[in-house]
Homo-oligomer: A and B are copies of this chain.
Amino acid sequence: MKDVTLGIDIGGTNTVFGIVNKNGTIIFKDSIPTNGMEPAGNLFERLFAKFNNSFEHYSKEYKIVGIGMGAPNANYYTGAIENPINLNWGYVDASSLIKKYYDLPFALTNDANAAAIGEMEFGSAKGMKNFVEITLGTGLGSGIIIDGKMLYGHSGTAGELGHINIVRDGRRCGCGSKGCLETYVSATGIKRTVFELLSSSRDESGLRDISFNQLTSKQIYDAANLGDKIAINAFKYTGKMLGDALADMVAILSPEAFVIFGGLAQAGEMLFEPTRKQMENSLLDFYKGKIKLVKSGLEEGDAAILGASALIWQELRK
């Protein structure tokens, strides 16, 4: 029998899960709709019905030794999901819910933290002991690894880099504050920048024909590749903001590297080049030229499962 773990990632729309071995090979994976308006217990019931059904086929060869879970507003210390935005759940004691199905070692954390642990176990940060994972989705998440361990902090909720202030009295943020990093650096952030530039400049741009709600970061990237000035400048501005924030993180944490994950990271050098330039410009002298900025090594579709699985593999080694 070969040891495997079950990795589960609860997203706003879909919940993905899969069986993963020690080397990060996904034996099988599947997904179901999260249905966040139904009680959480309903999701867990559907999830394990489907999982058990599929796993039957593998149960002679593989033995599940632990379950890892990534979820929004997850608290590692309590094993609970606490008032997740977009899910009508309130407080969910995930640890107890899981025990109804499998009495196995269980660990829970948020998606960005899970991505960071996945990166360390299976991705671009293999062998690194100090790095910061930045996930660029609708918002900006982060997971901080210090001395080979996840930083949870006193409350279990450390690593909210998306909500450090980057512009005094800047853009209004969903958290209630103004000028948070994620209002500039995220899929939504770059859209807001495009609309600012469409308003402040007179440059012709294909983006002038697309509404705010319809515009995607992929369209901005495609436009930039075609030489659209507004789109190019939007990436430059996004990189400048990110680069400044990363330089501050270096002063505080002294990481070896930043690993960038998520949709916007697909833009590659279009985003990385202005980020690196601004970071280098803002770094304390003795850090210049020494901090790596790399793209995630996790396949976008598999990252969530790999992260959740890596989380519990790491716990099992403790």
Contacts and interface: CB of A to CB of B under 8 A. Distances in A.
Given A249-B252, A254-B152, A244 B165 contact: yes
A113 to B, nearest CB: 12
Interface stretch (A8-16, A26-34, A278-286): A278-286
22 contacts: A130-B153, A146-B153, A151-B253, A153-B253, A153-B255, A154-B254, A154-B255, A155-B287, A158-B254, A159-B252, A159-B254, A160-B252, A161-B251, A161-B252, A163-B284, A165-B247, A165-B282, A167-B168, A175-B284, A175-B285, A249-B252, A252-B252
A289 B108 CA distance: 26
A177 interface: yes
A248 interface: yes
A301 interface: no
Nearest to A167: B168
A164 interface: yes
A156 interface: yes
A302 interface: no
Contacts of A254: 152-159
Main SS at interface, chain A: loop
A284 B161 CA distance: 11
A284 B160 contact: yes
Interface of A: 129-130, 144, 146-147, 149, 151-161, 163-165, 167-168, 175-177, 244, 247-249, 251-256, 282, 284-287, 290
A55 to B, nearest CB: 36
A164 B245 CA distance: 9
Contacts of A156: 254
Given A154-B129, A157-B254, A165 B285 contact: no
Given A165-B247, A167-B168, A154 B282 contact: no
A111 to B, nearest CB: 17
Contact of A163 (B154, B251, B255): B251
Contacts of A154: 129-130, 254-256
A177 B284 CA distance: 8
Contacts of A247: 165
